[in-house]
A = this chain, B = another copy of it.
Amino acid sequence: MSGSTLGKLFCVTVFGESHGPAIGCVVDGCPPGMALNESDIQHDLDRRKPGTSRHVTQRRESDTAEILSGLYEGKTTGTPIALLIRNEDQRSKDYGNIGETFRPGHADYTYTQKYGFRDPRGGGRSSARLTAPIVGAGAIARKWLKEKYGIVIRGYMSALGPVDIPFVSWDEVNNNAFFSPNAAIVPELEAYMDALRKSGDSVGARISVVAENVPPGWGEPLYDKLDADLAHALMGLNAVKGVEIGDGMDAARQKGTEHRDEITPEGFLSNHSGGVLGGISSGQAVVAHIAIKPTSSMRLPGRSIDLNGQPIEVVTHGRHDPCVGIRATPIAEALMAIVLMDHALRHRALCGGVASATPVVPG
């Protein structure tokens, strides 16, 4: 019942703090016999890691993952795969004064309330740094899903603060610092971020994730629905305040004739549902969107209190992401991969792993 574990059959248990010796995870439940090595994992870690552009934190971490267990002769053994990432660039002094105050909007207040104290170095366990092991675990899941079912999981930034980013092409996503699927809008995003950094403020973002080729039939209808588990995983990502499946919040305003996805022998005519009906995958693309709040660490002063309850003004120096959403795309992909793999295994357990009914409408 570990609160630090994601997944029930494909279980990822994450450990570590921003400025401790290391972060990592144990991945239990990966079937045996899959070829795996560190470079399979490093690719996604590199997409997430800090310091890759001027728009993200300048902390320098190689984020190199060592696989400690679970492999034999280059293949998974079916036993736990432990990933280890050493922290390299801890500059705790940057955070010297933070330990005595509460940043408005930051977890340091609630951690103190829960545990009686907190690790203030870089946010301790509440740091977005803890998403690195998740990206590593997600890389294992997406490799398995790809090889076994041809599933492809991709994400992109669909809005940066007030700037909507219309989807143009998957080909663009990895060509810019924002995971923008739209090359034309990138200069606007850069200008926005440059101005924001200068102002000392932070900003939110919207990320979208899509999984294609998911077989129909995955998800436990009550209560471990596929979409419920996606919501759990994605809302568990730092700074996420909203999760949508398919049309999401807009569904509240729609009529049934507008929302329902009609079916023909050639396939569904739309995908308002985001690929999930009654908590179970329909064979269409699984689509989720998340809203990431603006980070609470910023240079603009805010009213708060100190450990003694006295009023103070808080200003955060040190290295931060002015928009944590910029690096969130590979993490959201990883979370979707972990949830899908968990349900792939659950489907194997309960139903033998194959969609059992005909006809299967083309997704």
Contacts and interface: CB of A to CB of B under 8 A. Distances in A.
A251 B80 contact: no
Contact of A221 (B68, B105, B107, B231): B107
25 contacts: A1-B8, A3-B221, A16-B68, A31-B350, A31-B352, A32-B351, A72-B119, A75-B117, A104-B261, A104-B262, A109-B282, A117-B357, A159-B252, A204-B252, A204-B259, A235-B243, A241-B247, A242-B252, A248-B249, A249-B249, A254-B293, A254-B294, A255-B294, A305-B359, A309-B358
Contacts of A330: none
Which of A205, A247, A294 has the most chain B CB atoms closer than 10 A to its own CB? A294
Interface string A229-264: 111111110100111111111111111111111111
Interface string A89-116: 0000000000000111111111111111
Nearest to A33: B116
A181 interface: no
Interface in A169-203: 196, 201-203
Nearest to A161: B253
Contacts of A203: 254-256
B3 A346 contact: yes
Contacts of A9: 1, 9, 349-350
A64 interface: no
A129 B62 CA distance: 32
Contacts of A292: 251-252
A142 B233 CA distance: 26
A64 B202 CA distance: 44
A235 B227 contact: yes
A249 B206 CA distance: 8
Given A114-B280, A256-B105, A68 B264 contact: no
A41 interface: no
A78 interface: yes
A361 interface: yes
Given A216-B110, A249-B244, A311 B105 contact: no
Given A70-B15, A159-B253, A206-B249, A264 B303 contact: yes
B351 A264 contact: no
A69 interface: yes
